[in-house]
Amino acid sequence: MKVIRSKVIGFCFGVSNTVAKADECIALARESGLPCYSIGELIHNKDMVRHYNELGMVCVKGSEGIEPGVALVRAHGIPDRDRRGYEKRGFRIVDSTCPIVAKGAQTIRKAAQKGIKTMIVGVKGHAETIGLQGVEASEGKVVDSIMVYGLEDAERLVQEGSPAADEPIVVVVQTTFPVNVFERIKKVLKGHFTAIRFSNSPCGATQIRKKAALELARQTDAVVVVGGRNSENTKGLARTVEDTGKPVYCIENASDLDKGLCSELSTYRCVGICSGSSTPTNIIREVEEVLERL
């Protein structure tokens, strides 16, 4: 079977940075004889999480009840209050918040300091959205952003007439929010709020992967998407390919290619491989090797 790789594959720069900082974190913890933590799952890839866990990095959700050590803030960032909580308890923070995510947080902070209303468009419960919701204008003063989780929320705001249509609003969107939904939300909001400003768009790294996946779908009979099941950008890639009508197979690594799946895939003449931005290239290579043997 012919196997074609997407032109854009592997880590985005934000995830590469987090992985590099994870190494730094482990080295620092070893040097100083302290425990090593990641605040939340390091990246949306269970193999990488396991690998770093074996190196001594423990995933934690909060600073309470654990021995202070070296703690990594992953690419999604964390709420300001949580960061302070770790620092106050004596943790050493290694910050790998993606600069694009940090810029969104900074936009919210600055707008709030000037008294401008802020709005966050994001997936409910996603770590980045939670981090943006937890931005403080000054210590302890959380910015009360208007939350938009989907088109219905935007429509509801328009119907309710609050905030007023001419009130200045600054909007920040979660970097991996689905672009097509964001564009629809934007249209609804722009049609009503006259002084609204959209400070960013979903991340370009995600967009170029989607574009490459579309090209791949055109060239192949089916596409295998390799990535974490809880990764928004991996799910987005799968949806993008699905929309073309080509069969899509989502797997996390080569061990998901069991007998049944391999026999189904072997019926295709040509299969494409694309990956979410948290998938390491060694996992992609392993998947590729299995498919090439079919």
State the residues that interact with ligand SF4 by CB under 6 A: 12-15, 75, 98, 100-101, 175-176, 203, 205-206, 233, 277
Compare residues 42 and 101 and give the one whose CB is closer to ligand SF4: 101
Q: DSSP alpha helices (H): ranges in 114-250?
A: 127-133, 151-160, 179-190, 204-219, 232-242
Compare residues 13 and 167 and give the one whose CB is closer to ligand SF4: 13
In angstroms, give the least distance from the CB of 276 to ligand SF4.
9
In angstroms, give the least distance from the CB of 18 to ligand SF4.
7
Residues 137, 132, 103, 193, Cα dihedral to 10° = -80
In angstroms, give the least distance from the CB of 107 to ligand SF4.
14
Nearest to 276 by CA among 66, 47, 24: 47
Contact 12, 277 (CB under 8 A): yes
Compare residues 233 and 279 and give the one whose CB is closer to ligand SF4: 233
In angstroms, give the least distance from the CB of 271 to ligand SF4.
25
Cβ atoms within 10 Å of 202's Cβ, excluding its own: 23
Phi, psi of 2 (to 5 degrees): -85, 135
In angstroms, give the least distance from the CB of 202 to ligand SF4.
8
Compare residues 79 and 104 and give the one whose CB is closer to ligand SF4: 104
Compare residues 158 and 198 and give the one whose CB is closer to ligand SF4: 198
Compare residues 57 and 173 and give the one whose CB is closer to ligand SF4: 173
Residue number closest to ligand SF4, CB atom = 14
- The whole-angstrom separation of Cα 182 and Cα 174 is 10
In angstroms, give the least distance from the CB of 173 to ligand SF4.
11
Residues counted in the chain: 294
Q: Is 148 helix (H, G, I), strand (E, B) or coil?
A: strand
Radius of gyration of the chain from Cα atoms? 21
Contact 170, 197 (CB under 8 A): yes
